[in-house]
Amino acid sequence: MDTTSFLEQIRPRAYARYQALPLFGAVIADFSAWLSARGYRTKTIKSQLKGVRYVERWLRRKGRRRLSDVTDADVRMAHHRFRTDSNVGGPIRSLGQFLRERGLIVATPPTNPSFIWSERERFGQYLRAVRGFAESSILHHQRLLAGWLSFREADKYPAKLNEITADTIEAYLRLSAKTNNRFSLQHVVANLRAYLRWQHAEGRLLRPLHEEIDAPRCYRLEKLPRALPWKLLMALLRSIERSAPRGHRDFALLYLAAYYGLRSHELVAIKLEDIDWRAATLRIHQRKTKQSLLLPLTDEAGAILARYLREARPASSRRELFLRARAPMGALQPTAVHDILDARIRRSGLSIRMTGTHLLRHSFALHLLRQGASTKQIGDALGHRDLESTCVYLRLDTEDFREVGLPVPTRGRASRLVPFTWAEQLPRVITTRLSAMRRNDFRGPFASALEHYVAVRQALGRGWRVEVRCLRQWDDFLVRDRAPFALAAFERWNGELGGLCATVRRNRLRIVRNFLLFHRRDHPRTWVPDLSLLPKKGPYRQAHVVLPVDIARILATTERLPVLNCSPLRPQIMRIAFLLLYCCGLRLGELLRLRVCHYDARERLLRIDETKFHKSRLVPLHRSVARELDGFLAQWPKINRRLEPDQPLVWSGRTGHSGHGITATGIRHCWLRLCGSAGILDHRGRPPHVHDLRHSMAVGALHRCYQRGRDPNALLPKLATYLGHVSPISTHHYLQLTPELRRVTLQRFHAACGQLFKNGGAA
């Protein structure tokens, strides 16, 4: 629409009133045409002009009489004044952009910039010129730096920036931890380190405080990739109504995201020249890897894009494929893809939990996995440079991992149950029990420092349950010893730990030593023990691999456990507990934290959330194990016990304790009794540990791999993922060469290479 046709739709008296405005009357026609060219409708343009009148009145009260008197600072101040008024805030933003494009106002820095503004600009220049950061990274660092400068009240007291101590930094991190998770807190720490490093390099800080900042611990593969079943994703696409242009655009956008696994910024960056219709290819510019990806354009994708270009894409000189449906006309932002997906999920009525646009990329990778595509092919389709990035999606291929889980051991005969007091007659071995704590707080000479030390570490996202318990034991020793902590007191404390093995004793002493290093930072006279005074690490205890025959005997013996009034299903509870520990290789803590909602009976899956190193994983069950678990859960309604989703999966069954599961102590005591009944003892005459069942599962999975004639090298990555390890290197710790494993290994070797040793090796 040109200016003349638009002005004809406005009443002459109204248009005359707009032209009579002292400040913006001369440019009101040009501003109207500018809005029309950007795709604004007539009704919207009228509301924009109405907002300009409010801006005019406000600026005139500020003493602006001509347009030449208006500065960029005035426009920004007006926007700040009316930012909460939707009728005025939008017109001010449009008017300011129009005036800058026409050169009527010039963007200038503030006349009297604040100290925080100046410091942010200086830091931005340093990141741009010295560190070579991108503009988006510089803006992110400047926003984070504003939080630190405000915390130090830099506008009021600029000199306080040169009086920074480690305690000040830790107080800021503890404050930031209240509004940031561990991942966000990493960026806060990185920004603060960069700023303090720059301050130290310029000589404003004499002490290299950037080297003393501890960062929160974040581990690889903590969270599971999010994916949708392919049928559900297709149902979402079919639910998009395409009778309007916006529906065509949203369908084409989400179709490319689902069928090509594109990221949000890759979708909005597609231009018309990136589509080669004759060669049937689609070029994707990857901002993350700085490379271009050439993908085949299928007939279906080509037809969808062609229909969108003919019927839905508005006429525009812009070359981006996807444009905004509302004025101002322009390319979509990456955040718009999230909004479009969220809106379409809500309108579809499907039970889909919105977790971000990467949901479609993960679903695409999982679909390729289940179609039989190799890891290399999936990596090429996703544009990965490293196959390790693609292996993240292997954690979702539960059907391929189902063969790793062990079946239920069978053919076990129940043994005679030994008395409950049988465990008291076992030979004593080194115990890891510390002396009893007398209180739950710190009261020794380092009490305040210990509280500060623990608070700082916990603010960085660390649980620190074992560390806090050890420090409380040490604090209790200092209260009892009543002597300054030096070499003699250190030796006495080491003597109290004499009942621990060398490795555990070294770990306890290192916890205390790390605190003393922290305390010496501000108290140089603090005595810190040398590492040579700590005991050397001892060898790992060799796990007792429990054979399937022994496990079958233990499971059969659980039927003879006495039934308690408070736990009518005690035999079934213990059977399913030891079955999951052995067949799935679960840790004891993972078993105790399982809830009913973590079991998917339809998919035969267990979901392990927030386990060791904050990792989550999916554990597919063998068909026989899933059958046993279904039967176990079906028994609760028969005894008038209703299963709640948040109830522990392995429930104690106590009346009035519907939220309490069995305890680790209860499982260990029952395990000792069952092993004693079945005669499963080691060379010391003691039963194996409960954790040895995890070792037994790993060895059993490798044994089954050899028996089936499979490649063990192909099993190790799957076994590592099944057990929740980042790398197969961690899984090697669980593998032992048992006599049974040695036998099947030699059988395969002789079957493959036996001909070489006939006739003395002669050909």
Radius of gyration of the chain (CA): 34
- Tokens (6 digits) for 392: 């993240």
Q: What is the DSSP string of 296-318?
A: E--HHHHHHHHHHHHHTSPP-S-
Q: Are 99 and 78 in contact (CB under 8 A)?
A: no
Is 288 marked active-site? yes
Distance CA 262, CA 69 (A): 49
Is 259 marked active-site? no
Determine which one of 217, 220, 288, 523 is catalytic. Answer: 288
Q: What are phi and psi of 564, to 5 degrees?
A: -100, 155
Distance CA 524, CA 214 (A): 20
| Tokens 């952009």 -> residue | 97
Q: Are 723 and 731 in contact (CB under 8 A)?
A: yes
Q: What are phi and psi of 25, to 5 degrees?
A: -60, -35
Would the CA dihedral through 185, 186, 189, 191 be positive or negative? negative
Q: Are 28 and 19 in contact (CB under 8 A)?
A: yes
Determine which one of 361, 395, 598, 615 is catalytic. Answer: 361
Q: Are 522 and 484 in contact (CB under 8 A)?
A: no
Where does residue 305 fall: left (phi above 0), alpha (psi -120 to 50 degrees), or beta otherwise? Answer: alpha
Q: What is the DSSP string of 79-147?
A: HHHTTT-HHHHHHHHHHHHHHHHTTSS-----SS--HHHHHHHHHHHHIIIII---HHHHHHHHHHHHH
Is 126 marked active-site? no
Determine which one of 120, 249, 344, 384 is catalytic. Answer: 384
Helices (H), 202-263: 230-238, 245-260
Give the type of residue at 486: A
Would the CA dihedral through 76, 78, 79, 81 be positive or negative? positive
Closest CA to 75 of 49, 100, 40: 100
Determine which one of 38, 93, 285, 358 is catalytic. Answer: 358
Cis peptide before 728 (omega within 30 of 0): no
- Tokens (6 digits) for 141: 């660092």
Determine which one of 18, 40, 259, 393 is catalytic. Answer: 393
Closest CA to 641 of 585, 566, 577: 566
Distance CA 110, CA 252 (A): 45
Determine which one of 141, 152, 210, 263 is catalytic. Answer: 263
Instruction: Provide the angle, in degrees to the nearest 10, between the axes of the packed helices 570-583 and 623-634.
Output: 160
β-pairing, 291-296 vs 281-286, is antiparallel
Closest CA to 579 of 707, 641, 671, 702: 671
Q: Are 456 and 176 in contact (CB under 8 A)?
A: no
Distance CA 643, CA 658 (A): 9
- Tokens (6 digits) for 594: 């399982």
Is 384 marked active-site? yes
**Catalytic center residues:** 263, 288, 358, 361, 384, 393
